[in-house]
Amino acid sequence: MNSPAAVRMPRVDSLTGLRWFAALSVFVFHASSDAPIPKLQVLAPAGDAGVSFFFVLSGFVLTWSWSPQVGIGTFYWRRFARIWPMLLVSSVAAFFVLHEVWAGVWKDGLLSLTLLQAWFSGGKVFGNPVAWSLSCEAFFYLLFPFVVRPVMRLRGRGLAVLAVVLLIAEYGCNYVILNDLHVSHGTHLELVRLPLYRFVEFLLGVVAATALRQGRRPKLGFHACLLLLTAVGVFTWWCGRQAWGQPGWYDQAFAPVFALMITAAASRDLEGRRSLLRTRPLVALGEWSYAFYLVHLLVVWGLRGYVHAYSHAHWDNVVTQAIWLILAIVMSAGCYVLVERPVEKRLRAMVGAKRPKVAPVVPEPVGVA
């Protein structure tokens, strides 16, 4: 009898649709900094947690699709083929959009293109400003083949204990950073962008996918998870209003809910139930979401001076954000069709690493600047 790790798992396309909404939240977070919209500006800071969602999702889907028959070298090449071509294209575009001078940025540019910038950023971003999260993803990919086997050997109680330990570690680190160290804003950004720190969120996804592969279905349905996410968001916002909580807690507060939500969405697919997330438009948007993430801030900053935006909350900014959003979607679709998909296929074919016919869609790494 085949071991669970050797079984080819069915597709869970709802996760592709979910990916789009996470990418959209990142867009709202960034766009609201340049063109805030009344009422929405209260919710916009929560979009920063989109990076947490993608880190959890990455761990989940890589574990869901993992097969011991895939060698480490093949795994690494597939990940490189998936993320690096668009990183290169968007970094070159960023050089011109941000009017950089090569003599002043070439060292930082190399750190970005070698996926090391999150380790040496000093709280800054360079190259494509949002590409720091790819450094985290590269670190996750590096360790994944070595952590997935031990985690998949665990059963119910062991997985639950590991999840609790991970959350305690994350909450503890964040408490120390925000409340005890009294660090500057730049130092805080440097610490929370460290790949080792964000690895906890990735491991939560690994734990959740392992549980589902073992047949453990979530107690909460997908819609209940949405209500829980809303409740946690409101509570976190309220804590910030009381001056004993800070916006930096959004990622940590949402991470376990994201794990539950992702598992619930995947479970619905396995049961064959209808899901809006699997509709063709949302799946397409989800497939474009990696390119969307990498180009959306370049669109916002590149159009400064061409599209009017009020720096204070104003309803006219709805039109401004709509223009940015439409252009970013069009550009991401073009990048996906012309660069991302064909180049990945060519690179994978170089080592015979073709996509399996039956496998979940692996999420593109997405982060927040």
CA neighbor of 19 nearest in space, from 304, 302, 351, 290:
290
Residue by residue, DSSP assigns 88-123 as HHHHHHHHHHTT--HHHHHHHHHHHHTT-GGGS-TT
pTM above 0.85, yes or no: yes
285/261 Cα distance (integer angstroms):
19
Of all residues in the chain, the percent with pLDDT exceeding 70 is: 83
Among 122-131, 160-169, 357-366, the minimum mean pLDDT is found in 357-366
Stretch 284-309: mean pLDDT: 92
Residues 57-61: what's their mean pLDDT? 97
Query: Which pLDDT score is estimated for 211?
Result: 95
pLDDT number for residue 79: 96
Three-state secondary structure call for residue 60: helix
What are the residue boundaries of the structural domains of the chain, listed by start?
Answer: 4-350
Within 184-314, where are the H helices? 185-192, 195-213, 222-241, 250-270, 280-302
Q: How far apart are alpha carbons 362 and 15 in whole angstroms? A: 9
> Where is mean pLDDT largest: 33-47, 118-132, 197-211?
197-211
Q: What is the DSSP letter of 133?
A: H
Mean pLDDT in residue range 65-81: 93
Q: Which of the four pLDDT bands, split at 50, 70 and 90, describes residue 359?
A: very low
**Segment 317-351, tens digit of pLDDT:** 999 999 999 999 999 999 999 999 999 999 999 87
pLDDT band of 244, cuts 50, 70, 90 = low
Q: Are 292 and 130 in contact (CB under 8 A)?
A: no
Dist. CA 249–CA 251, nearest whole Å: 6
CA distances from 228 to 61, 106, 178, 256 (A): 22, 45, 25, 11
The predicted pLDDT at position 124 comes to 62
